Structure 1
């Protein structure tokens, strides 16, 4: 992926395993990670803390997708948990108040809500959602 090569984001791919049916695609799903900044006001409302007025450091799950032929196998959860683990590990060496995602539709919003992400915008799609790093650590 071009963004990966340029250092803009890192892509992580879930491949079909040796025990998976060969009717499944080789690439089952993927996600991307990058560092980002979030509006301090949006983050503060979720954290219920006063924060400086400048943008706050967060991790961004830029894309998380499962091939339609592999859906219904909880692979989205597998990828999300892997992403959260990597972000929590990174947060021990770089400032990170939490994780943001941009839910593209109601299905995506429901998915992220199940994992305690909280909507911080409500002005249409995509809808920005936030998960505090402490919540991710506890997952």
Structure 2
């Protein structure tokens, strides 16, 4: 059973090799690139550990998400009228994956809400970094259907696979 909270990824303490969400790009990112990108200060990955019956000492990963900073030109945002003409900061929800072993337990929504709350905390903390909202580059139609089941995502561009949620919408989340 998964633990209660997401923790920063530390591959010395969790087994990322067994993670399988059914989407190879999401699996490969966690297994090969997440820790390397964190070491380079490019982003942060957070994992929800759980101990499976076949565990070999380290907990497996039930779910994970990755946050990074990004900038967008104002014309890309849904309501650019009050923004400066230079690029504005946003937080990118770069990765989100739920392991197959724990599918259908509500972890998709829990992981998404946790990631969005975390992004809001980063942007609203006086010691954090400000951001206009959260951007998602959606992997495929299954992921798009999942995200669209939440009412707060807006299309970012004409591309339906790019979504945006303003920080103000996350205040009550």
TM-score, normalised to structure 2's length?
0.68
Q: Is the 8 A contact 2:90 2:133 kept in 1?
A: yes
RCO higher in structure (CA 8 A, sep ≥6): 1
Instruction: Give, in whole Å, the separation in 2 of the partners of 1:118 and 1:23.
Output: 41
Which consecutive unaligned segments of at least 5 residues does structure 1 have?
none
Q: Is the 8 A contact 1:13 1:30 kept in 2?
A: yes
Q: CA deviation at 1:130?
A: 0.3
Which consecutive unaligned segments of at least 5 residues does structure 2 have?
1-34
Moved over 6 A (4+): none
Q: Which has the higher strand share?
A: 1
Match of 2:166 in 1: 132
Instruction: Give, in whole Å, the separation in 1 of the partners of 2:163 and 2:100.
Output: 24
Instruction: Give, in whole Å, the separation in 1 of the partners of 2:80 and 2:149.
Output: 21
Instruction: Give, in whole Å, the separation in 2 of the partners of 1:41 and 1:54.
Output: 10
- Matching residue within 44, 52, 56 for 1:10: 44
Write out per-residue CA displacement over residues 8-60 of structure 1, whole angstroms, 9 at most, x where no aligned residue: 0001001126xxx73798211111011111231121xx236332222110001
- RMSD of Structure 2 on Structure 1 (CA): 2.1
